[in-house]
């Protein structure tokens, strides 16, 4: 007997028929003698519907009180899907009980709409598991020190599932999605993309941070911190598929590098359309200039990604960085109103139509010429590189968004990812 956490996304919970199929799948695992905790997302589209209602009533200047109520509202989506799944399991003859995050409790800080998990009490969950029940816990939410419901941000159910798996010391956390694993890149962009049987934690962390939508980055960070084995697999395979076959399907995120993984120079191509470039031109090339520019941006809770500073000329330099597209105009306004005048900058300009493309692979540690292969492949397709960022196992470039798919296909071919093993 083993202990598993199952996480099901909104698409998997998108209708009563799909919820019934999830219940049959979970019951299969439980009847095989395993203990199962399930973390479901809200039904597909439900969170967006709830937030759209709130948006219609949003005050001109939202404050902490507003975001508290927004979390109260958004949390109801997972509560509904959890209760429905418990009812479906009971209809299958399987004892089941559902809990909201605050009932467990899943304790978080007080950062509404983007709270971070601080601790999870597993006593109640273990008691139910020992009594032979399937336990269902709402994803995406918890409770702060003041007793207020909080949410973890979009994609937070993945994080909830991994955190719960860590707290109860689960043997594995199974992330059921609408795809059957992690691919070398998005198959919608490159039809020849291949599913990876295994991927290292480091590679998955890079892919998640660079735009891969399969797993939320905080869930991968949690898995790495607490060494939680994770598997990404499809919830749309027949529920009565052989259990052993299902348990070994999809993509395993592993913490051990095997010989096969070491042979692959590049494991995948990640990309992100949702970035924008901001440049502060003609600022003094003096110590502290980066802090003077980026400090106020960070204080405004705007995430900064790729950064580049040009060579000084006549004591002046240009400073560029990327932010999320949703923060683009706010960043421009902030720099133009508060930062640029104090620094005597010549101009603040931006481009919201860029994209980031990245190659990822632990094999890059021991192979030379990987970056040059990347740059050559892009040059042959006429794709101009605007910015470059590297780490031990990845190289990222910022390019014009209109060349994104062309770049991804070219790189997928250049690194032999089209080839069947």
Annotated binding-site residues read 7-10, 47, 78, 177-178, 183, 188, 213-214
Closest CA to 172 of 71, 119, 251: 251
CA distances from 399 to 166, 189, 285, 365, 403 (A): 39, 17, 26, 24, 7
CA distances from 21 to 18, 26, 167, 240 (A): 5, 9, 27, 9
**Where does residue 351 rank: exposed (0-12), middle (13-18), buried (19+ CB within 10 A)?**
middle
d(Cα 290, Cα 307) in Å, to the nearest integer?
10
d(Cα 81, Cα 84) in Å, to the nearest integer?
5
What is the rounded end-to-end Cα distance, in angstroms, of the chain?
Answer: 35
Residues annotated within a binding site for substrate: 47, 78
Interior/surface letters 83-112, b for 16+ CB within 10 angstroms, e for the rest: bbbbbbbeebebebbbbbbbebbbbbeebb
Do strands 35-40 and 149-151 pair parallel, antiparallel, or not at all (unpaired)? unpaired
- Partner residues linked to 205 by β-bridges: none
Site of tokens 């094999």: 363
Residues annotated within a binding site for ATP: 7-10, 177-178, 183, 188, 213-214
């Amino acid at each position: 007997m083993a202990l598993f956490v199952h996480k099901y996304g909104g698409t998997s919970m998108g209708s009563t028929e799909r919820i019934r199929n999830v219940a049959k799948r979970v019951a299969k695992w439980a009847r095989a003698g395993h203990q199962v905790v399930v973390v479901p997302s809200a039904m597909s589209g439900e969170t967006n519907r709830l937030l759209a209602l709130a948006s219609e009533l949003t005050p001109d200047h939202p404050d902490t009180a507003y975001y508290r109520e927004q979390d109260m509202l958004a949390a109801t989506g997972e509560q509904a899907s959890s209760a429905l799944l418990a009812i479906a399991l009971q209809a299958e003859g399987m004892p089941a009980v559902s809990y909201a995050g605050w009932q467990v409790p899943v304790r978080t800080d007080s950062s509404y709409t983007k709270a971070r998990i601080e601790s999870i009490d597993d006593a109640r969950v273990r008691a139910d598991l020992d009594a032979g029940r399937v336990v269902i816990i709402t994803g995406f939410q918890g409770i702060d020190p003041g007793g207020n419901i909080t949410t973890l941000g979009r994609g937070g159910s993945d994080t909830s599932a991994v955190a719960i798996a860590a707290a109860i010391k689960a043997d594995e956390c199974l992330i059921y999605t609408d795809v059957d694993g992690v691919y070398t890149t998005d198959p919608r962009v490159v039809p020849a993309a291949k599913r990876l049987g295994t991927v290292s934690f480091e590679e998955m962390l890079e892919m998640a941070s660079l735009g891969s939508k399969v797993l939320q980055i905080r869930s991968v960070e949690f898995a790495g911190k607490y060494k939680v084995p994770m598997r990404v697999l499809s919830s749309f395979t027949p529920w009565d598929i052989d259990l052993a076959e299902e348990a070994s399907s999809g993509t395993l995120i592993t913490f051990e590098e095997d010989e096969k993984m070491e042979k692959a120079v590049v494991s995948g191509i990640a990309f992100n359309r949702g970035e924008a470039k901001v440049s502060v031109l003609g600022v003094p090339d003096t110590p502290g200039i980066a802090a003077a520019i980026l400090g106020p941006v960070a204080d405004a809770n705007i995430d900064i990604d790729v950064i580049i500073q040009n060579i000084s000329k006549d004591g002046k330099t240009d400073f560029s960085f990327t932010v999320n597209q949703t923060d683009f105009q706010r960043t421009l306004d902030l720099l133009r109103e508060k930062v640029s005048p104090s620094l005597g900058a010549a101009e603040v300009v931006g481009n919201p139509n860029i994209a980031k493309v990245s190659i990822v692979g632990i094999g890059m540690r021991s192979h030379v010429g990987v970056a040059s292969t990347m740059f050559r492949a892009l040059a042959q397709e006429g794709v101009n590189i605007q910015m470059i960022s590297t780490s031990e196992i990845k190289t990222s470039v910022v390019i014009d968004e209109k060349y994104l798919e062309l770049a991804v296909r070219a790189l997928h071919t250049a690194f032999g990812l089209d080839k069947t093993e």
